[in-house]
Amino acid sequence: MIRPLIATDRAPLHEALVTCGAFSEEEVVVALEVLDDGLKGGLDGDYPHLVFEKDGVVLGYVAVGRTPMTEATWHLYWICVHPAAQGMGAGQALQAAAEAFVAEHGGERIVLETSGRPDYERTRRFYLAADYTECGRITDFYKPGDDCVTYVKRVG
C-alpha cells in the first residue's frame, strides 16, 4: 500500500535509511531533515512524501518536490526501500506513485540525481528501467571519483 507519510513512520524509515547501506551518515541526517519537513508540510508542502507499507510494516518511501523557479519540473529527492523489501517491487511502486502524484499536481517532468560510483550501478539501472534518461554527468561532483549523474523523465 502506498500512502502519505505520518509521524510514526519516522523510526522505521530511519532504520531503512541506515540498513539499506546506500547512504552515508551525513546523507541520513539530511534525509531525515527532509522527512521532517515532509511531515510538517504534508502532501501540500515543499517535500511531499509517500510511504510503502505492507502488512502494517513501513518498508520504504519516496520524497519529491517542485523545482524552484520552474513551471512544471519536479525533483525526486529521496527514495529508499528497506533491504527486507528490495527486489519485491516496492521501489517500482513508490516510483510509479511519485510519478502519478507529480503528474496530478501539474508536473511535466521529474529530475533526479544519483551517484556515479560503481556501488550505485543497481540504482542507475533501476532508473533506466523506469524509462528515465541520463541527461548529464558532473565528474567528481560529490568527491573525487564520485560523479553526479542526472536523469529526467517526462510524466505529464
How far apart are alpha carbons 26 and 34 in whole angstroms?
Answer: 13
Domain hosting residue 147, numbered range: 2-154
pLDDT in tens, 23-82: 889 999 999 999 999 999 999 999 999 999 999 999 999 999 999 999 999 999 999 999
Residue 72: give its domain's CATH number. Answer: 3.40.630.30
Domain count for the chain, please give it: 1
Q: Closest Cα to residue 77, out of 62, 89, 95, 91?
A: 62
pLDDT for residue 84 is more than 80: yes
pLDDT for residue 156 is more than 80: no
pLDDT in tens, 91-114: 999 999 999 999 999 999 999 999
Residue-level pLDDT at 21 = 85
Locus of grid cell 533526479: 112
